[in-house]
A and B are shown apart, each in its own frame.
Chain A
Amino acid sequence: MEELKEKLKAQLIEQLNLEDVEPSDIESSEPLFGDGLGLDSIDALEIIVLLEKEYSIKIEDPKKGKEIFASIDTLAEFITKNQN
């Protein structure tokens, strides 16, 4: 799980063009949206693309993304649960 979280941090930085952010700057439990990393609605849609491309997981309803994308912890948990 820790390995997946570190991988996710690197993938988010790459996919979302988070220049000047290092994987070590992201706390696994801190909120990705709002005050935390400051991601917005387009980033949420782009994380959906990332999940499909890298983990073959499809999210049809972006509204469900809110809980799943709350933090690196929740995202990693979701991927672990939904991957074959």
Chain B
Amino acid sequence: MYQGLEDAMQLHFLLNMTKFFIHKTVAIHNNSVFVDDEKVFDTDAEEPIGSFLKQVYKNYNVGYSKYFKMDRLSKLGFLSAEILLNNTNQNNIETEHTSIILVNSAASLDTDHKFQDTVNDIASPAVFVYTLANIVIGEICIKHDIKGETAFFVQEIFNSAFVSNYANIVLSNSAAKNCIIGWIEVAPNGTYNSAMVMIKKEESELELNEINLNKIFN
């Protein structure tokens, strides 16, 4: 429950709101890909993140040469979105009215360290551009022509109450008709995990709320 929230206030907030629903879930961790909790792909658990993600890329026949220019955070987010939006009719999603909210703990620290290593020599522009956490959102937007509201938050652990509230606000107030929520984390030591969901107005068994997000993201 929200720490800074009086019950009466939350009631007022919730009563005025249209309900939204969680549709598809994609999770990538321990060198395995899960769609709606079902394992759909895996490799040897010993494989490092780079070669694991490359196998995911090949498995899904993505065919997007810019992928190889991305940093590890963008690759992970990009592939999560590929799988989330895989087999969906783009018109059905109305990408122009799709919103993206991504969260992680390390921001772009993985690439920040890499760039810092080049600073005293010749700084690399191709590395520098990925020293912003929200670039992964840009990559997803470019691939899927998503032009809606986007936001990147940095949280020590996924804050389900905050993200649920913010997604509800974005879907209620802005031009957004659906929203992608994701946790995309690559730590400087290469440990990683991601989870991504699609939120729509169309009903499903899972309502968008703090409790359901908590089950998926924590």
Contact = CB atoms under 8 A, between A and B. Distances in A.
A–B touching in complex (CB under 8 Å): yes
B65 A49 contact: no
A42 B65 contact: no
B144 interface: no
A63 B193 CA distance: 41
Interface residues of A, number: 13
Instruction: Name the residue in A20, A38, A49, A53 with the highest tally of chain B Cβ atoms < 10 Å from its Cβ.
Output: A49
A16 B65 contact: no
Interface in B78-126: 121-126
Contacts of A38: 65
A45 B65 CA distance: 18
Contacts of A59: none
Interface of B: 65, 67-69, 121-126, 129
B43 to A, nearest CB: 18
Q: Tell me what chain B mostly uses at the interface: helix, strand, loop, or mixed.
A: helix
Contacts of A16: 69, 126
Contacts, number: 30
A38 B64 CA distance: 12
Contacts of B125: 42, 45-46, 49
A55 B69 CA distance: 23
Interface of A: 16-20, 38, 42-43, 45-46, 49, 52-53
A18 B125 CA distance: 16
Contact of B122 (A18, A20, A42, A53): A53
Contacts of B126: 16-17, 42-43, 45-46
Nearest to A20: B65
Contact of A46 (B67, B68, B124): B124
Contacts of A49: 122-125
